[in-house]
Structure 1
Amino acid sequence: MKFNSIKNKIVKYITVLFLCLFTSLSFAQNYQVKGTVLDDQGVPLEMASVKVIPVNNPDDVSGGVTDFDGNFSIDVDEGTYNIKVEFISFETKNIKNKEISSDLDLGKIRLKFAQEELDEVNVLYETTQVDVRLDKKIYNVGKDLTTEGGTVSEALANVPSVTVDVDGAISLRGNSNVRILINGKPSSVAGFGDQDVFQQLPADAIESVEVITSPSARYDAEGSGGIINIILKREKTLGINGSFRGTIGDPRNTGAYTNVNLRTDKFNIFNNLGYTDRKGPGNAFFDNRYTTGQNFDRIIEDREYDRSGKNFNMNTGIEYFFDESSSLTGSFFMRLGDDLDRTRNRTTRFVEDVENSTTLRTEEEDEDDKRFQYSLNYEKRFDPDNRDHKLTADFQYSKKDETKDNRIFEDIINPTPDFVARQNVFEAEDEDSFLFQADYVLPMGDAQFEAGFRGDYSDTSQDFLVQRKLTENANFTRNDSLSSNFNFQQNITAVYTQYGNKLGDSFSYLLGLRFEQTQLKGKTTPVNEDVFTQNFDFDKTFNGLFPTVNLIYEIGEEENISLGYNRRINRPRSWYLNPFPSQSSRTNIFQGNPDLDPAFANAFDLGYLKRWEKITLTSSVYYQRETESFERVQRDTGQDTEEDGIDIIENIPINLSTEERYGAELGILYNPTKWLRTNLSFNYFRFESEGAFEGQEYGATNESYFGRFSANVILPWEIQWQTNAFYRGPRENAQTKTDPIASLDLAFSKDILNDNATVSLNVRDVFNSRVRDQFTVTPNFSSDSEFQWRERQVTLTFVYRFNQPKEKRRGSGGGDYDDGGGF
């Protein structure tokens, strides 16, 4: 009986519950929430996530994703909801406490590009995309076919306003005084200013490149030409995903690169590994003619370079999320390099245009390069609805350990074979750097206040030991006039503040002031102090205020004018200050100048942007005036070689008094159809310098220009064909004229395996024409030379992606900055 009573009660409760549920279903009304998700330039965002979350039951989430045109439609019950719209690399849009009692059309929802998240996302667009900001342009490098399997230098060479010459030196708008940062900070990844490292790091590691021609106060005042900030990949998609990339090429270019990421609600683990084995043949030619009392009136040097290098790179770390508003990231970067460079230098000497003798100089240099970097980053966001209100604190320790062992053999091969000299050159460089940084950002409606501190302290020790023997049977002896230790310290302490606001609907401004104190200390210790009477030591401190002003006026939604002003500093690097000469040649040497001081510059930039349906135009004119500017000059040292009495020509950096630079640049993106995208850019600059050194005037007036054209064509069977053409006009300084350079790159790409893999073929420098030709004239000699850093390269690349779908190309409307990897 008792069991039947319990059974009856259960049946009764179930009946009542069923009736309540039936009643609610009968009277509940479904409503439709719809809208369109766009970026801040009006381009539809496909696959954006939309979540509709009940306020009283946050676990009962409804949602969906946008279609190709950015549209979404979600059915919900009557009630109060929070709506969240998300898309990777864009700021999240939150709509709070929305009462829904009828169909709701949210209209156009615009998402801003997330500037602060650039180092946290991996955007997989087909081609390069640009986002224009108040103080910078951000190029999401994406899949540039012509740099598949290439290096960071080759990727930078395709970024607008940036040029990379045949030596690998990087310039911005024709100005080589450019500051290069990694993830917004000076870094051992960038070699602390040593640009050679970019010819070793794989381009696949790059997420985006920021070109900052009018830097705000938040950035270092270093670099009168501006700043290039390289953002490395750090995936942040939920779950585990990644990619593998393999390359082969001729000349030898083999490599493998993996990118793996694991993301949960509490942590994000990222790991990038890369290995490359590259060979870089090159060549150079020097024809020197002497005009005053030398043993020879003409000397020809014909060089062949055979560079090879094996490099292993790792960038790994973990980000732990304490909660939705704070996180701590620890990361470790390592680069191990093992290089072998062989140089053959055939030197022919003439007397009255008759060959006198010919020598062959062979160099074999082993280089062991180790770079390590440990980083900690803490981030605290104070407002979950406004992710810009935050405090970040960074600590970074970097170490570089590089050794070079160069064995030099030189013999006469004509008219009678004979011994000339043997020389061993050993170089060791150790560098330690500490970085402390804190930044605070406070949004106030349309306004924003920022303040921060940075301390950047580095200590470099360079040991230089030269041994030689002048007869075949002699023992090696130390060259006391060249062997030394150079210790260099650079200590920079900076604070800054800046404020930005918007006046009305059209005018925005950003005002900033930065104070920097720079200390440069150098101490030279010869191995034999009795040989030297000159003191090369220095200890200099420079204090400076660096104001910045950035203004933008929006003429319309697709048109604006910008104006920027900033003051910059150019600090000499250690190799510009080290007083001991290089030994790559007995007769043409580079030697640092301990008396070199920093240069200061004031720069103005006026820009104009206009977008139409299929055309985007960007343009600017700029002016810069630099005092105590650097100039490298050549001079006859008045000394000759001990082996055969040939005069030594020295290349040395000096401070000229002033340099004025004018320029203009123009970029046109034209995407007439879905299968054709083109990009054209042109940059013109002119500079005037004046100054004297050792009684000789080195002032000069020079103008030059460079242009790029890119076309990306989709062929049948969805094969992509990309063409990049580059032309740089002639240049001239006080002593040297440089001839024009033209080059062409081609690439083809095809997706396979259900778009999970891509195979591509690219040819860099198709006509093998990337050669620098120069002619130098001084009172004592003239020099006609040509130099090719690397010969034509053909590379085949295979990429496989897992859980990392390749997103389709965004629409080709007026807001699409897709430039096909163009410039």
Structure 2
Amino acid sequence: MKTLLFLLCFFCFSLSAKSQTNTALQISGTVTDSVAQTPINLATVILKNDKKIQIQSVLTAKDGSFVLNDLVTGTYSVSIVHIGYQTKMHMVSLAGSSKILGTIGLTMGATQLKGVTVSGDKPLIKQEIDRLSYDVKADPESKVNNVLEMMRKVPLLSVDADDNIQLQGNSNYKILVNGRPSGMMERNPKDILRSMPAASIEKIEVITTPPAKYDGEGLAGIINIITFKKSVNGTNGTINTSHRFPVGGPGVGGSFTLKSGKFGIATNAGGNLNSSPLLNNSNSRLTLGTNPTDLFQTGTRDFSGKTAYVGTELSFEIDSLNLLSGQLNYNANKNESLSTQLSTLYNSTSIIQSYGLKNNLEGSGNGFDAALNYQLGFKKDKNRLLTFSYRYFRFSNDQFNSVDIYNPIAYNLADYRQNNMGGSTEETAQIDYVYPLKKVTIELGAKAIFRNNNSDFRFSSMNSSGSFEADPLRTNTFDNQQNVYGVYNTYQFMIKNWGVKAGVRAEQTEIDANFAGGTQKLNNTSLNLIPSISINRKFKNMSSINFGFTSRIQRPGINQLNPFVDRSNPNFESSGNPDLKPTTGNSFEVTYSRFKKVSLNIGARGMLFENLIMPSAVTDPVTQITRSSFANTGSGSLMGANVNLNYPFNSKLRAQVGAQAMYGKVKGEINGILIKKEGLMRRAFTSVTYRPSKTWQGTASMNYNGPNLSIQGTTNSFLTSSFSINKELFDNKLTLSIAANNVFDKYRKAINFTNGPNFTQESYNQNYQRNFTTSLNYRFGKLKDAIKKNKKGINNNDVSEGTSL
């Protein structure tokens, strides 16, 4: 491994030395302020060829000078871009000698309140009035990583040792695609994001203060994934193929856009095969009290699976005032794993119980959604819009466990089979109206969601004749109906250097749940008022400060409601809780951004929760079974800060550093006992990018994730690393990438520490993390005119599947 790293480094520096001895043509000049006649540092100089394809970009030095190297004879356009100034472009023809443009004066431009851009060679982070965005397209590692891996680099996001995503240290959020809910992200988003090449998306937005037009759910906020859809007259797209070994597998993905007259279509699709070798796991539990016991379990598992997705958006412009648009999304996955386990329960003097277990798990699922939108414009003001929207969505998840027991000692449970078929259907109708009035934009709308969560679960065990017989006490069907009705009103305006978004949303929730053939029923109705406000203040020194406040609620999802009891590990049972109530919370934030030699984005934020939904675990001293479920455990809070810096040392070398720390507190009752928990959750990230020439680029990055916090325990911290090299070919249309991930550690440990009223427990899972990736990314097409999309649509961001603070 050390030899491989040495060869990679030697290869990069050899290329650098070669580029420095190249005597090709140059374009040079100096950029100044046209009024003050002072040099402008860190202005971006972009070079495009005669086909309008960007081939190079550099930053001006302290004296305003720049040099574009390694050029050949031809016609070029040179654009100079700098925040606060109007963009200036020069056409340059190179014949047999280099070109000196001399002094180029930039004129101050109008101040904009949309956001402050934090950049290196190309903007990576942008702070807007109510969100922060990460430009995935500008990150060189996007050519070789998947979207889940890129999320480790996005401010305010983190990915734990089991690849679970958290926003501001919280697992309660909503993922949208292009500002709309997508069936691809409703069931198990990490599987889709793991199979989605990062080269197929443009940016990731973190909406920390969602406006009132969004549903009130999602305690921590919204993650919005923007795919490549530069809709055009003609075609445009990307194709990405990759292979990851020795774990992972082959994958393919991409995007395609077509615009022909009034009709437009934009599609993204992909899939991958994923497998891992045999890995180890263990559980150790110590019960306390008058008769303490020790339980120790050790086992192995392997895994293989496949995932595929496709999403399509369509648009038809009836005329300049009438627009029809729609979307279709489908995803499916299938996986299987085989695990073995040896379990021993003993007290201070002898073995109480022992057995071996073999578990064959088969899982599958799919999701589908379709939406139709009609947008009506008005002749007097084209920004005045009336939109009608409808969306249908469904998903299903099936899990089948075949469990065999061997070598039992004082253990009489027979072989058993368990099957859980769960899913959800949803219909949504919505109307939105946008009315610009001088300097104020008024928005209002109404929405109705009709959601049905259901589960059909069965348990059967082997009888004396050797056949499997259903257990009626562990077999049932569950139905949960949620109807949500909402109205909202928002106002957006700008006064000089101030920008404001403010509004309020009212939501009424009606819940009706029951078991088939049983007497247990639940009826609940609640009304919530959800205010939100975001304020932006722009300053003359290319900086701004943002303030935000919003209230949020989080309704439980089917995974938390489903009463199916998972007995795949007989000593540890887990189930949902159909009696869960929505969680409510308030969040506030202050963010400062500045664009100078060191680009800086720093923020402080806090969240307060009531009726917090979190896992709870209790050990039965008689049966020695630990039962885990979800409960409205009590209240909690998160307070913290984040900082991100981007520093370009020169036109070839830049570094990025980011850190986040959140201090959490939670308290609630577990089995009638008050429990309080608090601790610091933290993460840090750094990367260095070196570009020796216009076609070669190397990046090294490191990511640290600290422990996560729950009411009964914590998880371990871990470190990941990545080294990648990219080579651009054929006028930057083809990119060849290789990467070495986590070369220093073959395995990643995922450890969960749990403390209950009468027990302590440690669960350990081994994950194979060292891998090598090769990727080929091809971009094609030519851009002309943009496809029109309706500016309003359905956003159902109200369901929780999270398990931690």
TM-score normalised over the length of structure 1? 0.77
Q: CA deviation at 1:217?
A: 0.9
Q: Does 1:662 align with 2:646?
A: no
Instruction: Give the one of 650, 663, 673 matched to 1:686.
Output: 663
**For 1:438 and 1:688, how far apart are their aligned partners in 2?**
40
**Contact 2:618/2:671, CA 8 A, preserved across alignment:** no
Greater alpha carbon shift after TM alignment, 202-211 vs 544-553: 202-211
Q: CA deviation at 1:568?
A: 0.7
Q: Does 1:287 align with 2:284?
A: yes
Instruction: Give the one of 430, 437, 441 matched to 1:437.
Output: 430
Q: CA deviation at 1:258?
A: 3.7
- 2:340 alignment counterpart: 344
Give the secondary-structure state (helix, strand or coil) at the position aligned to 1:597.
coil
Q: Does 1:635 align with 2:618?
A: yes
Instruction: Give the one of 778, 781, 797 matched to 1:800.
Output: 778
Q: CA deviation at 1:745?
A: 2.2
Q: Does 1:174 align with 2:178?
A: no
Instruction: Give the one of 594, 600, 605 matched to 1:622.
Output: 605
- 1:185 alignment counterpart: 180
**Contact 1:283/1:788, CA 8 A, preserved across alignment:** yes
Residue 114 to residue 704, structure 1, CA distance change in 2 (3 Å): closer
Q: CA deviation at 1:675?
A: 1.6
Instruction: Give the one of 599, 614, 622 matched to 2:583.
Output: 599
**For 2:741 and 2:113, how far apart are their aligned partners in 1?**
33
Q: Does 1:425 align with 2:415?
A: no
Q: Does 1:142 align with 2:125?
A: no
**Contact 2:403/2:416, CA 8 A, preserved across alignment:** yes
**For 1:48 and 1:484, how far apart are their aligned partners in 2?**
67
Q: CA deviation at 1:359?
A: 3.5
Q: CA deviation at 1:286?
A: 1.2
Q: CA deviation at 1:43?
A: 5.9
TM-score normalised over the length of structure 2? 0.79
Q: 1:23-34, aligned counterparts within 5 Å?
A: none
Instruction: Give the one of 354, 361, 368 matched to 1:365.
Output: 361
**Contact 1:429/1:461, CA 8 A, preserved across alignment:** yes
Q: CA deviation at 1:623?
A: 2.1
Q: CA deviation at 1:632?
A: 1.7
**Contact 2:512/2:523, CA 8 A, preserved across alignment:** yes
Q: Does 1:556 align with 2:556?
A: no
**Contact 2:44/2:121, CA 8 A, preserved across alignment:** no
Q: Does 1:225 align with 2:225?
A: no
**For 1:73 and 1:715, how far apart are their aligned partners in 2?**
25
Deviations 1:656-683 (A, max 9, x none): 3321221111111112212222111111
**For 2:398 and 2:113, how far apart are their aligned partners in 1?**
43
**For 1:388 and 1:725, how far apart are their aligned partners in 2?**
45
Q: Does 1:755 align with 2:750?
A: no
- 2:752 alignment counterpart: 774
Give the secondary-structure state (helix, strand or coil) at the position aligned to 1:576.
helix
- 2:72 alignment counterpart: none
User: RMSD over aligned Cα, in angstroms?
Assistant: 3.5
**Contact 1:148/1:762, CA 8 A, preserved across alignment:** no
**For 1:676 and 1:355, how far apart are their aligned partners in 2?**
62
- 1:396 alignment counterpart: 391
**For 1:331 and 1:272, how far apart are their aligned partners in 2?**
12
- 1:512 alignment counterpart: 503
Aligned AA for 1:305? R
Q: Does 1:320 align with 2:316?
A: yes
Tell me the number of residue pairs that the alignment of Structure 1 and Structure 2 aligns: 696
- 1:156 alignment counterpart: 151
- 1:700 alignment counterpart: 677
Identity of aligned residues (%): 22
**For 1:427 and 1:127, how far apart are their aligned partners in 2?**
49
Aligned AA for 1:265? G
Q: CA deviation at 1:148?
A: 4.8
Greater alpha carbon shift after TM alignment, 665-674 vs 276-285: 276-285
Residue 670 to residue 112, structure 1, CA distance change in 2 (3 Å): same
Give the secondary-structure state (helix, strand or coil) at the position aligned to 2:649.
strand
Aligned AA for 1:525? A
Residue 364 to residue 600, structure 1, CA distance change in 2 (3 Å): same
Residue 551 to residue 269, structure 1, CA distance change in 2 (3 Å): closer
- 2:454 alignment counterpart: 461
Aligned AA for 1:594? P
Q: CA deviation at 1:733?
A: 4.5
Q: CA deviation at 1:758?
A: 1.0
Select the structure of larger CA radius of gyration. 1
Deviations 1:21-65 (A, max 9, x none): xxxxxxxxxxxxxx99xxxx986777699xxxxxxxxxxxxxx99
**For 1:700 and 1:725, how far apart are their aligned partners in 2?**
30
Give the secondary-structure state (helix, strand or coil) at the position aligned to 2:150.
helix
**For 2:665 and 2:436, how far apart are their aligned partners in 1?**
43
Q: CA deviation at 1:185?
A: 3.1
**Contact 2:323/2:375, CA 8 A, preserved across alignment:** yes
- 1:808 alignment counterpart: none
**Contact 1:411/1:420, CA 8 A, preserved across alignment:** no
Aligned AA for 1:776? T
**For 2:547 and 2:290, how far apart are their aligned partners in 1?**
56
**Contact 1:127/1:141, CA 8 A, preserved across alignment:** no
Instruction: Give the one of 263, 266, 269 matched to 2:265.
Output: 269
- 2:524 alignment counterpart: 540
**Contact 2:614/2:711, CA 8 A, preserved across alignment:** no
**Contact 2:727/2:735, CA 8 A, preserved across alignment:** yes
Q: CA deviation at 1:197?
A: 4.8
Q: CA deviation at 1:147?
A: 5.4
**For 2:379 and 2:702, how far apart are their aligned partners in 1?**
48
Deviations 1:106-162 (A, max 9, x none): 9667798999xxxxxxxxx99773332111112232164545565443332331110
Gaps of 5+ in 2: 1-32, 35-41, 51-74, 81-86, 92-104, 784-805
Q: Whose relative contact order is higher, 1 or 2, with alpha carbons under 8 Å and at least 6 apart?
A: 2
Aligned AA for 2:727? K
Q: CA deviation at 1:551?
A: 1.4
- 2:495 alignment counterpart: 503
- 1:522 alignment counterpart: 513
- 1:307 alignment counterpart: 303
